[in-house]
A and B are shown apart, each in its own frame.
Chain A
């Protein structure tokens, strides 16, 4: 199959060259005939460019977007798990989760720089230290957010936790802006290089090491996380709280502790996502949590809010949609595309792809 593809691509390339030659010849001839044919020449050029994109390199281009989309999707998926877990257990949208992810990114970049200053140059060690420090310190933020802004509101009226979450989100955003400055924080790439495919054509498909690391790390975390939910006492307590909090408390589950730990786990995964973004894009600021938060929430809704595999699937889909939309339609409207997906999901399948129907009980 792969060979077939390459062969057909090769055939297409030959055809394209012929076409191009034809067009160019036309263009030169036209230019010779009269000096006033720039419009025609321009047209020919446009057409030939269009053929390049629509013809041979299409496969390579598609493949590249697939790689980028999966990487992006892994990051969104990790953030989306935080939303979906919290929603599953206490039924509220944790608006501040995007900011927790942003704080994770900041802690990662700070740890990287500190490690650089004290002379840790062995990259795998540095990565492990950054991963640990980001997870631990961001977990502290996740825990505090729950204790301060949501814990006292359990049993309050319906809008209270939502408004409190918005307030927390504003507070964290401005807190980071105050203590770290409003400017964009760039970081030198730590992991460079990668594999290159299909170098023969005009378009090279790149799969960088960092993309491989992101996808592998996400997969490993997902597996570990699923084990945690299914096999451990904590996971059992979480599932019990999700079904019926009052009943879980009656049979001896420490509900408050379980909820706190849910926030801690969500924050840890968001911290990993923040570290990945720092490594992948190499630039962060205090505002990245807002859009990433909305997109990850969209991913959670698309996958079915409350469902962990759904969050990962939704994240993957949102990443792919964003990558392909930017590549084939317009970069400016990529965020709009994601929001439209959110609205469409809510209209046609509010339970998401893998979610359970939400029955409201009196």
Chain B
């Protein structure tokens, strides 16, 4: 064991941390109290702590390569991870405490991994095992999830708040499934997905306002408009390399937002559009005193009026929309077009050699993904009753992309789990909201490094040969 090399390595990491932390963490710009301009306050203690943390963290990670160090390090890091929260230091230094805890936990997990995985088999077998687990989750949890989602509004623990949260999570599940067609199946990185969501929302709001069409008449129109925008945008760009598509969609998302913000006569500008019509159940509105000539939902079913009926209806609406998206995706994967998407994702040149037209094939994926975003947008507009450009910023696109990436590109069940993890859970930890996007960003980098196919990466073959034994293994 080369102690000097280890120390040098850890020292280098600590030095880089010092360089990173000194200007940005060491000095904080603050407003001059009672004056104009800004001044700085120093936080050199935090710099020192981060340097020390990185030094020992790096040292521990290097030492884990030596087998006789693993158990002591496991004990030590697990001790820190579990013991530190008991010391009540988080009251004074919350960020530092939690950083230390997370770092020790990571080291402990890694140590445990290396200690108990004696065969040292990582790579193919390991990914197969995870794949089997994912397949198991997909086969058994899928139906369980659907049943749970169906009875969810009637569970005694479900309050109105939780139900609203369920609607929100399902909206993101639907968006994630829609984006999964584009990113997961066709392998096109779309960073402006929220633009199509906005097109759907605004087209529903404006058509319903100006022409008085109902939600059900507008829904296909919203999808159609969004798909149309997808085709217009995709046609020129999809001929090029994938990276260009990423940045053009990013720009397009911004264009849509800027136009909505400034074209006041059309979209209401920053004030948005309020009073978007609410959906009705087979033409029966959810209203305590329905207008002349219509029967309200509660009158028809002869029950007492309750504002919750509408929420429950909205919940089932988005559940149906999301399941339709899922069903559509699962089915189209088996069609020639779906298989062409996946083939194109893997190797474009080979596809071209086999006679697949890459531009048209990508365009269909792009348009179908946009269409689902349009449906979700129409739902969003009718649920909120108010839309403004603020709801369609780049951050939304990033969140949807994070859901797809974390769930595992192409994995339908992974999207559901990731949406619950990224949307549902943070709602319960409002005080940590400021760390949310930070964690998303770090998670996207981490996933790409350690599990590039996503947490639950498993892909069923699109098509199974009937007799695989005879197919000549």
Which of B262, B402, B438 is close to A178, meaning CB atoms less than 8 Å apart?
B438
Taking the complex as formed, is B246 at the interface, i.e. its CB lies under 8 A from any CB of chain A? yes
Q: Which residues of B contact A107 (CB under 8 A)?
A: 23-24
Are B248 and A346 in contact (CB-based, < 8 A)? yes
Q: 9 closest Cβ contacts across the A-B interface?
A: A167-B444, A171-B441, A170-B441, A140-B19, A339-B251, A174-B438, A164-B448, A347-B236, A167-B445
21 contacts between A and B (CB under 8 A): A92-B243, A113-B40, A133-B23, A136-B19, A137-B22, A148-B445, A153-B448, A159-B183, A162-B242, A163-B189, A166-B191, A168-B441, A168-B445, A170-B437, A173-B437, A175-B24, A178-B438, A188-B37, A294-B251, A339-B254, A340-B255
Q: Which of A271-320 contact B (CB under 8 A)?
A: 290-291, 294, 297-298, 301
List of A residues within 8 angstroms of B36 by Cβ: 186
Q: B213 interface residue, CB < 8 Å from A?
A: no
Q: Are B40 and A110 in contact (CB under 8 A)?
A: yes
Could you mark each residue 13-41 of chain B with 1 if its beta carbon is under 8 Å from any beta carbon of chain A, else 0? 00010011011110111110000111110
Closest chain A residue to B353, Cβ basis: A362
Determine whether A353 belongs to the interface, using a CB cutoff of 8 Å to chain B.
Answer: no
Q: How long is the Cα–Cα vector from A171 to B344 in the complex, in angstroms? A: 31
Query: Which chain B residue lies CB-closest to A159?
Result: B189
Q: How long is the Cα–Cα vector from A315 to B301 in the complex, in angstroms?
A: 66
A283 nearest CB across to chain B (Å): 10
Q: Determine whether the beta carbon of A167 is less than 8 Å from that of B443.
A: yes
The answer to whether A187 and B38 touch (CB under 8 A), given A159-B183, A164-B444, A362-B349, is yes
B442 interfacial by beta-carbon distance below 8 Å = yes
A75-93, CB < 8 A from B: 92-93
Minimal beta-carbon separation of A195 from chain B (angstroms): 27
Interface set, chain B 424-473, CB cutoff 8 A to A: 434-435, 437-438, 440-445, 448-449, 452
Interface residues of A in 129-187 (CB under 8 A from B): 133, 136-137, 140-141, 143-144, 148-149, 152-153, 156-164, 166-181, 183, 185-187
User: Do the beta carbons of B445 and A164 come within 8 Å of each other?
Assistant: yes
The listed residue (A153, A161, A176, A183) touching B24 by CB distance below 8 A is A176
A333 to B349, CA, bound (A): 39
CB distance from A259 to the nearest CB of B (A): 16
A170, B398: Cβ atoms under 8 Å? yes
**Contact assessment for A180 and B24 in the assembled complex, using a CB-CB cutoff below 8 Å:** yes
Give Cα distance in the complex from A328 to B372, angstroms.
39
* Nearest A residue (CB) for B183: A159
Interface: A117 (CB within 8 A): yes
Complex CA–CA separation, A336 to B247 (angstroms): 14
State whether the Cβ of B237 lies closer than 8 Å to any Cβ in chain A: yes
**Residues of chain B with a CB closer than 8 A to A333's CB:** 258-259, 262
Q: Which residues 269-290 of B sit at the A interface, judged by CB distance below 8 A?
A: none
Residues on A with beta carbons closer than 8 Å to the beta carbon of B348: 360
CB-based contact B16/A103 at 8 Å: no
Say whether B152 faces chain A, with CB atoms less than 8 Å apart.
Answer: no
Chain A residues lying within 8 Å of B349, measured Cβ to Cβ, are: 360, 362
Q: Are A167 and B251 in contact (CB under 8 A)?
A: no
Does A214 have its Cβ within 8 Å of any Cβ on chain B?
no
**A64 contacts the other chain (CB 8 A):** no
Q: Which residues of A contact B37 (CB under 8 A)?
A: 186-188
The verdict on A358 contacting chain B, using a C-beta distance below 8 Å, is yes
Instruction: Report the number of A-B residue pairs with Cβ-Cβ less than 8 Å.
Output: 183
Is B98 part of the contact surface with A, judged by Cβ < 8 Å?
A: no
> Which label, helix, strand, loop or mixed, suits the secondary structure of the A interface?
helix
The residues in A between 24 and 70 inclusive whose CB is less than 8 angstroms from any CB of B are: none
Report if A114 contacts B (CB, 8 A). Answer: yes
In the complex, what residues of B have CB within 8 A of residue A175's CB? 24, 438
Main secondary structure of the interface of B (DSSP, over half): helix
Is B316 in contact with chain A by the CB < 8 A criterion? Answer: no
Chain B residue numbers with a CB within 8 Å of A111 are: 23
Contact B441 A174 (CB under 8 A): yes
Contact A159 B262 (CB under 8 A): no
With A114-B40, A170-B437, A346-B248 in contact, is A106–B243 under 8 Å at CB? no
Contact call B251/A343, Cβ cutoff below 8 A:
yes
Determine which of B19, B38, B247, B394 lies in contact with A93 in the assembled complex, contact meaning CB atoms within 8 Å: B247
Query: Is residue B4 within 8 Å, beta carbon to beta carbon, of the partner chain?
Result: no
Q: Is the CB of A167 within 8 A of B438?
A: no
CB-defined contacts of B437 to chain A, threshold 8 Å = 170, 173-174
B398 in contact with A166 (CB, 8 Å): yes
Whether A170 touches B444, Cβ cut-off 8 Å, given contacts A179-B25, A335-B258, A339-B251, is yes
CB pair B445 A114 closer than 8 Å: no
Assess whether B449 is in contact with A153, with CB atoms less than 8 Å apart: yes
A167 contacts which of B187, B261, B442 (Cβ < 8 Å)?
B442
Q: How far is the CB of B325 from chain A (nearest CB, A)?
A: 22
- B147 interface residue per 8 A CB criterion: no
Please name 4 further chain A to chain B contacts, defined as beta carbons within 8 Å, in addition to the given A149-B445, A342-B251, sorted by A numbering.
A92-B243, A159-B242, A164-B449, A180-B29
A350 at the interface (CB under 8 A from B): yes
Q: B27 to A114, Cβ gap below 8 A?
A: yes
Assess the B24–A179 pair: CB atoms within 8 A. yes
Indicate with 1 or 0, residue by residue over A334-354, a CB within 8 angstroms of chain B CB atoms: 011001101100110010000
Residue B228 lies at the interface, judged by CB distance under 8 Å to chain A: no
Q: Are B27 and A160 in contact (CB under 8 A)?
A: no
Q: Does B405 contact A (CB under 8 A)?
A: yes
Q: Chain A residues with Cβ under 8 A from B247's Cβ? A: 93, 294, 297, 342
B245 and chain A: residue at smallest CB distance? A346
Q: Interface code B231-247, partner A: CB below 8 Å = 1, 0 otherwise? A: 00000110011111011
- Asked if A294 meets B250 with Cβ closer than 8 Å, knowing A170-B440, A343-B237, the reply is yes
Interface residues of A in 204-233 (CB under 8 A from B): none
* A95 to B19 Cα, complex, angstroms: 22
Minimum CB–CB distance for B267 against chain A, Å? 13
The docked-state distance in angstroms from the alpha carbon of A185 to that of B39 is 10
Closest to A134 in B: B23
Give Cα distance in the complex from A284 to B426, angstroms: 29
